[in-house]
Structure 1
Amino acid sequence: MPSSKVRFIAPAAVMGGGFSTKSFHAALRTRPDFIACDAGSTDWGPYYLGAAKSWAGYRQTRRDLERMVLGALDIGVPLLIGSAGFTGSDAGLAWFRGIVEDILAAAGRTARIATIRTEQPKDWVLGKVRGGRTWGLDGRPELTEEGVGRAARIVAMMGPEPYAEALDAGAQIVLAGRSSDAAIYAAVPLMRGIAPGPAWHMGKTVECGYAIEEPIGAGECIVGEVDDEGFTVRPVGGRSRCTVRSVAAQMLYENATPYLLREPPGTLDTSAARYIQLDEHSVRVEGATFRPEPYSVRLEGVDQLGYRSMCLFGVRDPAVVRGVAEYTAAITDLVHRTAQDRYGLDRDAYTFGFRRYGYDAVLGDAEPNAANGHEGCYEIGLVAEAVAAEQELAHEIVSGAMPFFMHGVRVPGVANSANGALAYAPSVVDVGAVFTWSVWHGAALDHPMEPFTLEVSDSAGTREMVTS
């Protein structure tokens, strides 16, 4: 049924990041129509999708989720969680659902739970490739059958329609795999008849919760309402406020332009948006439009490169600091020269190198201070790292390089050899599997639910397949 106004709560920036309990309780009293939260991202790199793990542990996640689950049930409104398990993998989604069930069991509560799976079988992706219905994003080349075959895991980023189907099926708690962040919040307004421009602009604005308030460290929940003309947002608690600047800036977050945002059903255009400071804490936004386009989703996938080991050590000899590029290059050359003899490795079977912290680790070759000959650095932390097909090999490559750190390399201005201070013992740390983004492509859909599987069940475990 069409609704003239839809109220919401955006409790946190990301599940596991924490938020104010006092603020959340106050937010529940604003009579929201739904509560929603994003639980995942690609910002943290490809490892989490490859390993099917979340950046936040069980305790972090449960702490935040418990307040949301019980709060939503107490006031009788749905709770929508997007990218549950962090990356949309089936394993991550199942782990996340297990936490919800632990919460309900501990509280003696029950709920109807929907899970929406977004990890894709390779046969489905191959069908899209063979049909010419995929394309590279952000300059990526076309996706190939070989590329799909190499991928360790591929997920599709869903839009708002699967949330609507879950709610229509009676779900009180919706746990979605990989999801558009804005769709988590736009779904309920859209299904209640709110105009798509305001609904999508609101979704994009509040996707990171208290990121739109000043100061952001207050961690206060964002509440608001959206209608056919626009939306209003404010933090609850009195320690922070929304400003025109803090709200408008969110369109730049994870976005190449402050005016256009491509979503599965089309493109949000905020070029005509107006931001109005209503009072000290509240901002009203109007004027965004939404242009429907052929339905598509983003596919995200990773290849495993091998296994990484690393060693952290510091140098502060002025001669080494001045010649650190030559120092690390000489060590790297020694590793390459001995790789075949020591480990039976050809040059293309591994990687070895350094990250120079305190020198140019953040920007690398683009560091302007390095290009301008900036002086003043007196100590550098170095991370030596190797990636190989097996963890043991990566470990041996780094451990085999350690004598070179200490006394295997001559540095101009040093009488005998360089000297490094090892940060830890054991000195070589095995990091584990290493992944790289390999699938970052659009895929055309015949229907918004085509690649997604929706299951609805009660918290006791009786499940029913609704659609796929």
Structure 2
Amino acid sequence: MKEFRILAPTGVLGAGFTPESLATGVALSPHVIACDAGSTDSGPAALGSGIPKLSDATVERDLRLLLRARAELGVPLIIGSCGTSGRDSGVDHLAELARSIAEEEQMSFTLALVYSEQSTDTLSELWDTGAIHPLDPPVPLDRDKLLSSTVVAMMGSEPIENALSRGADVVLAGRASDTALFAALPHMHGADAGLTWHAAKTIECGAACAVPPSADGLFVWLRDDHFDVRALQPGTRLTAQSVAAHTLYENIDPFKLKEPGGVLDTSTATYEQLDDTTVRVRGSKFEAADIYTNKLEGARARGFQTFAVGGIRDRAVIARIAQLIPMAQEHFTGKIESMFNSAVSPDDVDIDFTLYGANGVLGEREPEHTPSRELGILITVTAHTQEIAHSVCASVAHVVSHLPIPEYDGLASTVAYPFSPPETDRGPVYEFTINHVAAVAGPLDLFRTKIVVVGV
């Protein structure tokens, strides 16, 4: 029976894991260590700005421990979606951290850098040849919008397999399917595709499918007709239900999970509880696609933002809030031109009021409308310069704190601000621009790989 052992130390590089759990995983002699380092979950800022979400301190701590484990075992270490977004700068920055650690720890290894950021020439060719197709829900896209965006392509397992076949000990990849990181080594050696991709899906977020979920590790034994998955942190359980439930995480369909090269079908999978920490899975299938596609992710600057946060506890104000907010919106829309001597149009400034405690999360989809005793108010102003956004937000925050209430004579205080001054500049903000895939001739087409030797 062929067996592949895979260690997933945590859900994202920099989230942390206990040294004890890592040691437990290392003692089980994995053939590969893999870890995700990014996501679009936090929005478009990392892709648009190139600034990672997590700090160098936390990322370096995890990376150091994983490089030590890799050196001890002599197995590959694979990290994907470097720098949160998978931009080329994220790959290069993590490579610099790896080089620094290697020098301090007196390590040496062959390093593969797999880049996924797309040039304007590549994007132009994809657009001109009709290779870009919308996903659901469709996002309007034209050539100018595409070329004005920072775009990464999401790789499958093949670019990582290519790096491993070229002798890489450490693979630092740009934007990658989370599952591809864990599927790459067994896939390149002919393991059952259905079980490989299902095992990869199960451990992509580390111990997120454990009970309770945690930023820690899982271990997989992948065999010919099943895989076993085990939680590593003491006191953590893994159940058949928690493992099965993870197929719904970040997926609209719990049975059909799309990858660049096809679809994982878990509809015939079975889940068997072996003990409190281990579950056995059988019966998953993989349906290869007729056309290979890579998802494209794009972001661009939307403007600059300033916000203010306040609270409302007055019952009369809360009762009138549905009339007060539209009145405030109309007041400031009419005042924008006079504030800037007609140099700024109302269309150039977006003023948003979000009320927490009154449908602030779900908005119009909120099914329960109950009176609130207090409200949190978030005032967000977006404009094409920080100066305009700040100026408008300061004016809005001041006027909103004294909106006229019919129930009161004279000047009333409507909003209490916890900070002085109440307005805070966020700097540049970004928006996602693309929800599309690119049809390609081969799985390596949109990616570039560089092999370097690190250390002595």
TM-score range, shorter chain: over 0.9
Matched, 1:65 2:63: yes
1:367-422 Cα offsets, whole Å, 9 max, x none, are 1222xxx12x2221211111111111111110121221222x21232333333221
Aligned counterparts of 1:402 and 1:290: Cα–Cα separation in 2: 55
User: Quick one: which amino acid aligns to residue 126 of structure 2?
Assistant: K
CA RMSD of aligned residues (A): 1.5
1:263-316 Cα offsets, whole Å, 9 max, x none, are 111111111111111122210111111111111100010132111110111121
Q: How far apart are residue 141 of structure 1 and its match?
A: 4.8
Matched, 1:170 2:167: yes
Q: How far apart are residue 248 of structure 1 and its match?
A: 0.5
Match of 2:185 in 1: 188
Aligned counterparts of 1:215 and 1:353: Cα–Cα separation in 2: 37
Match of 2:373 in 1: 378
**TM-score for both structures, normalised by structure 2:** 0.96
Matched, 1:216 2:213: yes
The verdict on how the C-alpha distance between 1:164 and 1:314 changes in structure 2, with shifts beyond 3 A counting, is same
1:338-359 Cα offsets, whole Å, 9 max, x none, are 1001023212211001111222
Matched, 1:273 2:269: yes
Provide runs of 4+ in structure 1 moved above 6 Å.
none
Match of 1:260 in 2: 256
Partner secondary structure for residue 439 of structure 1 = coil
Equivalent residue in structure 1 for 2:328, among 320, 331, 339? 331
8 Å contact kept, 2:8–2:204: yes
1:426-454 Cα offsets, whole Å, 9 max, x none, are 32111122222111111111111111010
8 Å contact kept, 2:80–2:174: yes
1:213-239 Cα offsets, whole Å, 9 max, x none, are 11114x442112112312110112431
Partner secondary structure for residue 228 of structure 1 = coil
Partner secondary structure for residue 426 of structure 1 = coil
Alignment of 1:40-59 (within 5 A): 40-59=38-57
Aligned counterparts of 2:168 and 2:408: Cα–Cα separation in 1: 70
Aligned counterparts of 2:159 and 2:206: Cα–Cα separation in 1: 22
Match of 1:116 in 2: 114
User: Quick one: which amino acid aligns to residue 285 of structure 2?
Assistant: T
Aligned counterparts of 2:246 and 2:428: Cα–Cα separation in 1: 33
8 Å contact kept, 1:118–1:158: yes
1:130-152 Cα offsets, whole Å, 9 max, x none, are 1111110113156431221232x
Equivalent residue in structure 2 for 1:406, among 401, 405, 416? 401
Match of 2:450 in 1: 455
Alignment of 1:355-366 (within 5 A): 355-366=354-365
Partner secondary structure for residue 422 of structure 1 = coil
Match of 1:146 in 2: 144
Partner secondary structure for residue 437 of structure 2 = strand
Matched, 1:388 2:387: no
User: Quick one: which amino acid aligns to residue 123 of structure 1?
Assistant: D
8 Å contact kept, 1:135–1:143: no
8 Å contact kept, 2:154–2:176: yes
Aligned counterparts of 1:126 and 1:301: Cα–Cα separation in 2: 14
Q: How far apart are residue 328 of structure 1 and its match?
A: 2.2
1:104-146 Cα offsets, whole Å, 9 max, x none, are 2221222211111100002211211111111101131564312
Aligned counterparts of 1:203 and 1:100: Cα–Cα separation in 2: 25
Aligned counterparts of 1:238 and 1:418: Cα–Cα separation in 2: 53
Match of 2:5 in 1: 7
Aligned counterparts of 2:319 and 2:385: Cα–Cα separation in 1: 35
The answer to which of 314-323 and 326-335 deviates more is 326-335
8 Å contact kept, 1:206–1:222: yes
Identity of aligned residues (%): 33
User: Quick one: which amino acid aligns to residue 279 of structure 2?
Assistant: V
Aligned counterparts of 2:221 and 2:407: Cα–Cα separation in 1: 67
User: Quick one: which amino acid aligns to residue 415 of structure 2?
Assistant: G
Partner secondary structure for residue 436 of structure 1 = strand
- The runs of 5 or more residues in structure 2 that have no matched partner are none
Q: How far apart are residue 37 of structure 1 and its match?
A: 0.6
8 Å contact kept, 1:314–1:382: yes
Aligned counterparts of 1:414 and 1:5: Cα–Cα separation in 2: 76
Partner secondary structure for residue 368 of structure 1 = coil
8 Å contact kept, 1:220–1:240: no
Matched, 1:100 2:94: no
Equivalent residue in structure 1 for 2:222, among 219, 226, 231? 226
Aligned counterparts of 1:187 and 1:299: Cα–Cα separation in 2: 20
8 Å contact kept, 1:134–1:142: no
- The runs of 5 or more residues in structure 1 that have no matched partner are 462-468
1:72-99 Cα offsets, whole Å, 9 max, x none, are 1111111100101111111122222222
Equivalent residue in structure 2 for 1:161, among 147, 158, 163? 158
